[in-house]
Amino acid sequence: MIQELVRMQNINKYYGRIHALRDVSLTVNTHEVVGLLGDNGAGKSTLIKVLSGAVPMTSGQIYVKGKEVQMKSTTDAIANGIETIYQDSALVPQLSIARNLFLGREPVKGARLFNRLDHDAMNEVARTLLKRVGITKDIPPTTPIGALSGGERQAVAIARAMHFESNLIILDEPTNNLGVAETQGVLRFVREVRDTGHSCIFIAHNIHHVFQVVDRIVVMRGGKIVADNIDPKKSTIEEVERVITGEHLIEALGLDHG
């Protein structure tokens, strides 16, 4: 049942002379939520940008379901079932929720020549999807994205990824700048994402949030993966924090005088 979904192998990324990713290899399985942790500048965003086609890697391979793929653009990634959700950049603020959900894959009716939008179908699906991602407030699907809160926008983006059967949904610091209730909402979508059979990479600085939703923790430091199989059920937050900062190494070498 559990299979390998995405495998990144020996990824290197240079930004000019900065070596941002050093021989990184990471596998994400089906039905798995992976928490990616690391200090500022560890390379987390760079890694998922490479995976989502937003920046080109310098060397390495990416496999999706065992087949090597080229991620030249975000379109390539989406076509391979990998969807990255940023706070709002993936949505068009002027367009309605329903129009955003179906952008690029609009259902049409009537004569082919005119490609008339099937508004009824779009609104209907939008309403059901909004409920599924836990928006219980009655927001009409015709509301423009610009009128939604940051958390609601992410809910729409997640709803879209779920509807179009993305296999892997990537969330880079989705809880930044969110209120308490909205943060709980986002954590709920992440669980919903796994329960409906998708995989997820979840990046956040708040380790408590990560502990609440992920199946496995991966830690990056200085462009390398330093731990890739921490079970949140068997570890404490303090232990993970020490891996992130590298203190556990200092302790192991007996250099810790504190």
Partner 1 sequence: MDNRSFVQRFIAKPEFGPLVLLILEIAIFWSINPDFLSPLNISNTLAFTVELGLIALAMTLLMTSGEFDLSVGSVFGLSAVVMWTVFNTGLAPLPVAFLIAIGLAMLIGFVNGWFVTRLAIPSFLVTLGMLLIARGSALYITDGFPQRTWNAEDQWLAQVLVGEFYVGGFRVYMSLLWFVLFAFLAHYVLTQTKAGNWIQASGGNPNAARARGVNVRRTKVLLFMTSSAMAAFAGIISSIRTSAANPNSGTSYELEVIAMVVIGGTVLTGGRGTIIGTVIGIFILRIMRNGIVMVGVPGLAYNIFIGAIILAMMALHSWLERRHNAGT
Ligand X SMILES: Nc1ncnc2c1ncn2[C@@H]1O[C@H](COP(=O)(O)OP(=O)(O)OP(=O)(O)O)[C@@H](O)[C@H]1O
The entry of Mg ion, ligand X, partner 1, none near residue 146 (CB within 5 to 8 angstroms by kind) is: partner 1
Distances from the Cα of 15 to the Cαs of 18, 56, 122, 130, 223, in angstroms?
5, 10, 42, 39, 12
Q: Contacting partner 1 (CB under 8 A), which of 10, 59, 70, 94?
A: 94
Q: What are phi and psi of 149, to 5 degrees?
A: -80, 165
Using DSSP bridges, classify how beta strands 33-38 and 18-29 pair: parallel, antiparallel or unpaired.
unpaired
Q: Are the C-beta atoms of residues 107 and 122 closer than 8 Å to each other?
A: yes
Residue type (1 letter), 129: L
Q: Contacting partner 1 (CB under 8 A), which of 50, 71, 90, 244?
A: 90
Smallest gap from Cβ 75 to partner 1, in A, equals: 6
Interface with partner 1 includes 104 (CB under 8 A)? yes
Pattern of binders to ligand X over 54-93, x per CB under 6 A?
----------------------------------------
Interface with ligand X includes 12 (CB under 6 A)? no
Distance CA 88, CA 105 (A): 19
Q: Which is nearer to ligand X, 38 or 151 (CB)?
A: 38
- Give the DSSP H or E segment for 98: helix 97-101
Quote the tokens at residue 152: 């609601």
The entry of partner 1, ligand X, Mg ion, none near residue 237 (CB within 5 to 8 angstroms by kind) is: none
The entry of partner 1, Mg ion, ligand X, none near residue 108 (CB within 5 to 8 angstroms by kind) is: partner 1
Distance CA 114, CA 117 (A): 9
Query: Which range in 56-64, 74-82, 228-236, 247-255 contacts partner 1 by CB under 8 A?
Result: 74-82
Q: What are phi and psi of 168, to 5 degrees?
A: -125, 125
Considering only residues 9 to 68 of the shown chain, the ones binding partner 1 according to CB under 8 A are none
Distance CA 152, CA 34 (A): 23
Pattern of binders to partner 1 over 135-164, x per CB under 8 A?
---xxx--x--xxx----------------
Please tell me the count of residues contacting partner 1 according to CB under 8 A. 31
Q: Contacting ligand X (CB under 6 A), which of 35, 38, 174, 232?
A: 38
Q: Which is nearer to partner 1, 166 or 232 (CB)?
A: 166
Q: What are phi and psi of 184, to 5 degrees?
A: -60, -40
Distance CA 241, CA 248 (A): 9
- Residues of this chain that interact with ligand X (CB under 6 A) are 15, 18, 20, 38, 40-46
